[in-house]
Amino acid sequence: MRQAAFDWIVNRTLQLLLAVAMLLPYRRRVALVGHLARTVAAPLAGYNRRSRANLAMIFPDMAAEERDRVARAAADNAGRTLIEIFSGRDFVEQVRDARVTGPGLAAIEAARAEGRPVILVSGHLGNYDVPRGWFAARGVKVGGLYKPLANAAFNETYVDAIEGVSGPVFERGRRGLGQMVAFLKEGGMLGVLFDQRMPQGEKLDFLGYPALTALSAAELALKYGALLVPVYGLRQPDGLNFEIATEVPVPHSDARTMMQAVSDSLAARVRAHPEQYFWIHRRWKP
C-alpha cells in the first residue's frame, strides 16, 4: 500500500513536469529538460557518481575532469531523450529529415520489398527511438519491445509515449512475446534494445568486461528468418538533430555469436560517443 502511494505521487509529479515542459516550443523544451537532468536530477539521484564509476572502469586512462564532463553530458542526453520520446508527433517531425548513413538502409528496404521481417537492434546511445520515428514519418510502423517500469503508475504513461512515436509496442513476457511473434511473421519491423542487464542472460563481452546479455533478438532473427541490423540514432552537436547510422546486417550463425557481434558494434559506437551513452545502467553488475 505504501509503495503504491509513493508510485502515485511520483507519477503525478512526473506528469505535471512533463505537462509544463510540453507547453514550451519543441527546441526550448528539449534544451530545458536536458539542462534539468544534467544540473538537478542526475546529481540528486546519484547518477553522476554511478556514471563516473562506470567510466573509470571502462576508460581507466580518462582524466577525472573528463569523466565529470562525460557524466554530465550523458545526463543531459538522457533528459533530452526522455522529453523527445514524450513529444510524440513533434519528435517524429523533428527526425523526419535525419541523415541516414551506412549500408543497413538498403538491406532493410530490400528485406521489406521481399516481405521479410526486420529487427533493428540498438542500445541506450544517443536517442534509440530516432530510427522508429524516422520510419514512422514515412508511414512505416516499427514495433517496440519494452521492459515495464518499476513504477506501475507511471508505466502506462510511458507506454503511451513510446507507442506515440511508432506502434505497436510489446511488453517483455509471454503475452507480449506472442503478439510480437505474430507481428514479425507478417513481415513487420521491430526495434529492440539489448543492453540492459538480464539476470538470465549470457555473459558476453561489452567494452572489455562480461555483461549479462539477452540473446532473444538473435534467437528471433534465426527462428523467423529476420534481418538483424544494428542501428543508432546519434545526436548531433546542436543537441536537436540526429544522424541515423545503419550497419551491415549481422550474418545468421548462432545466437551467441550474433549477439556478440551486436555487442561489439555498440561498444565501438560508445567509444566514439561516450557522452551519449546511458552510463547510469548497472550494466556490469554480477
Alpha helices (H) in 124-232, listed in sequence order? 130-136, 152-165, 174-185, 216-224
Phi, psi (5° rounding) for residue 148?
Answer: -55, 140
- pLDDT tens for residues 237-271? 999 999 999 999 999 999 999 999 999 999 999 99
- Nearest Cα neighbor of 79 from 16, 27, 34 is 34
The whole-number average pLDDT for the span 124-153 is 88
Binning pLDDT at 50, 70 and 90, where does residue 2 land?
low
The whole-number average pLDDT for the span 105-118 is 96
Give the pairing of strands 169-171 and 142-146. parallel
Residue 1 has pLDDT above 60, yes or no: no
The whole-number average pLDDT for the span 106-121 is 96
Spell out the domain ranges in the chain. Answer: 2-276
Contacts of the segment 60-65: beta carbons below 8 A, 24+ positions apart: none
- Confidence (pTM): 0.91
- pLDDT tens for residues 7-46? 777 677 778 888 889 999 999 999 999 999 999 999 998 9
Contact residues for 209 (Cβ-Cβ < 8 A; gap 6+): 57, 58, 284
- Residue in the structure block whose three cell numbers are 556514471: 51
Mean pLDDT of the chain: 92
pLDDT at residue 151, rounded to an integer: 76
- Nearest Cα neighbor of 277 from 62, 122, 97 is 122
278 sits in the region (left: phi over 0; alpha: psi -120 to 50; else beta) called beta
Share of the chain above pLDDT 90, in %: 75
Strand order from edge to edge, sheet including 242-246: 99-101, 242-246, 227-235, 118-122, 189-193, 142-146, 169-171
More confident residue, 97 or 11: 97
The whole-number average pLDDT for the span 145-168 is 78
Are the C-beta atoms of 170 and 27 separated by less than 8 Å? no
**DSSP codes joined into one string, 248-277:** PPPPPS-HHHHHHHHHHHHHHHHHH-GGGB
DSSP letter at 87?
T
- pLDDT tens for residues 171-224? 877 778 888 899 999 999 999 999 988 888 999 999 999 999 999 999 999 999
More confident residue, 84 or 176: 84
Residue type at 108 in one-letter notation:
I
Contact residues for 277 (Cβ-Cβ < 8 A; gap 6+): 74, 123, 124, 125, 270
- pLDDT tens for residues 41-83? 999 989 999 999 999 999 999 999 999 999 999 999 999 999 9
Residue 6 has pLDDT above 60, yes or no: yes
pLDDT at residue 177, rounded to an integer: 84
pLDDT at residue 171, rounded to an integer: 83
